[in-house]
Amino acid sequence: VGDRERAARVTLDIFDETPSDDARRVAQAALEAGAWVAAASLFERLFERTGVADDGVQGLRGFVEAGQMDAALRLLRQAVSAGLDPERVRSDERLGALHEDTRFEDALSGT
């Protein structure tokens, strides 16, 4: 986890100078290594930059794995308002803990 988390944090620090594809590779490696928050934060920045739905979903997964439901719900609201299909989120079993949050349906509806 250590090296991948460090790489994700460095990439966040130099995000504006980092090509999206490079940042995405670093974020994915961090997610796979279990560096949940660093990966999720990097995917969130990527989503804000590109609007790519997969980046938003990967960010959600990282925040959920880290138990950071407030961050996950914030990103979910942003992603849905940017066009992410709510059914994709509902059907993603890796987001099970998010589905159980009482605020989940409100976030999906954008409120």
Instruction: Report the distance separating Cα 73 and Cα 69, nearest Å.
Output: 6
Q: Is the pLDDT of residue 50 over 80?
A: yes
Mean pLDDT of 78-87: 90
CATH code where residue 44 lies: 1.25.40.10
Residues 6 or more apart whose Cβ sits within 8 Å of residue 80: 86, 89, 107, 108, 109, 110
Q: How many domains would you assign to the chain?
A: 1
0.85 cut: is pTM over it?
yes
Residue 88: which pLDDT band, with cuts at 50, 70 and 90? very high
Residue pLDDT, tens place only, 5-37: 999 999 999 999 999 999 999 999 999 999 999
Backbone conformation region of residue 92, classed left if phi is above 0, alpha if psi is from -120 to 50, else beta: beta
Q: What is the mean pLDDT of the chain?
A: 95
Parent domain of 7: 2-108
Instruction: Report the distance separating Cα 109 and Cα 28, nearest Å.
Output: 28
Residue 110: which pLDDT band, with cuts at 50, 70 and 90? confident
What amino acid occupies position 111?
T
Instruction: Report the distance separating Cα 49 and Cα 72, nearest Å.
Output: 17
pLDDT at 80: 92
pLDDT at 75: 95
Q: Is the pLDDT of residue 111 over 90?
A: no
